[in-house]
A = this chain, B = another copy of it.
Amino acid sequence: MDEFELIRRFFSRDAASAGVVVGVGDDGAILRPTPGHDQVHVIDTLVEGVHFPANIDAADIGYRVVAVNLSDIAAMGATPRWMTLALTLWDKDEQWVEHFANGLYSAAAAHGVVLVGGDTTQGDAVVATVHMAGEVGQGSALLRSGARVGDAVYVTGTVGDAAAGLSLLRSEVTDDELVRRFLRPDARVEVGKALRGRASAAIDISDGLVADLGKLAAASGVGVEIDVDRLPLSAAMLSHYDQSSAQQFALTGGDDYELCFTAPAGAVAEFGGITEIGVVTGGERIVCRRDGKRVEVDTAGYRHFS
């Protein structure tokens, strides 16, 4: 089987959808933007052995490479629309490609995203890159740079679960809610859209809460104080780890793909599924406190090349 057959067979599902004039199969896809909207473009890569263990199910890789892009779109408050895939494989394993495609389409379909093109190439390890384009009313995208002193700081869902799950996965635990949080992150697309006009700044948590909130604070030129005891921890997390370890995962663990955002008091009062964890200040970038006293944390987060 050659690459053309691979692509035809597994990545040519019907792309008929609003805004898709021509999908997979020509030199490029032809898309029709919605009038009066800005576009959000994001690109993210997963590398075997770096972002995921080599032995996980290809369906999880396909799902995850879509989810991480959905999460970036969500952090901008946009509606995800179209994606293209660049897939580098180490071998021509037909079943692997089928599983990968199933995971990819499953994550995309859940949010109405259509695969409109791609490129499949040969390489020594799996490198999966997805580019995704979303749409948002002109001028209404969420940025990292709008946080103001006095705003409250929130996160969606629970944090630290994915990093704890990866840790369990490395200990060969595979059937666990925390592992599922790592393998199948739910991008907060609906929350992101609901935050337009309410949140002052937003970012998704991919490198860890402290690291990513630090980027938001830097982009906004503000500081943030986090109350460590207010961090939302899952029951699954607390069944595996003591509170101190759980808080460490919550502060520094990556791959959660929850949203972290700032908003003026009362702007998100009716929102469920979010937790207020701190406040925007004019002081240091990130200060963590427990019972009012400073807590030292490793703020490096997850970085490549370091």
Which residues of A are interface residues toward B (Cβ below 8 A)?
A: 1-4, 6, 21-22, 25-33, 35, 37-47, 49-51, 72-73, 75-76, 78, 82, 84-86, 88-89, 92, 116-125, 127, 129, 131, 133-134, 136, 138-139, 141, 143-145, 202-204, 219, 303-306
Contact = CB atoms under 8 A, between A and B. Distances in A.
Most buried by B among A26, A31, A42, A86: A26
A19 to B, nearest CB: 9
A39 B45 contact: no
Given A22-B141, A27-B72, A127-B127, A41 B117 contact: yes
Contacts of A303: 2-4
A288 B202 CA distance: 59
20 contacts: A1-B305, A3-B303, A3-B304, A3-B305, A21-B38, A26-B145, A27-B72, A28-B73, A28-B78, A30-B76, A33-B37, A33-B38, A41-B84, A41-B116, A41-B131, A43-B119, A45-B121, A92-B305, A123-B125, A125-B125
A94 to B, nearest CB: 11
Contact of A75 (B27, B116, B120): B27
B40 A122 contact: no
A4 to B, nearest CB: 7
Contacts of A40: 28-31
Contact of A306 (B2, B26, B37, B204): B2
A72 B28 CA distance: 6
A121 B219 CA distance: 22
Nearest to A68: B119
Contacts of A143: 22, 26
Nearest to A33: B33
B127 A27 contact: no
A100 to B, nearest CB: 15
Contacts of A141: 21-22, 30
Contact of A86 (B44, B76, B92, B203): B44
Nearest to A39: B31
Contact of A50 (B22, B29, B121): B121
Given A42-B117, A43-B117, A47-B123, A86 B27 contact: no
A143 B123 CA distance: 30
Contact of A26 (B21, B76, B118): B76
Contacts of A138: 32
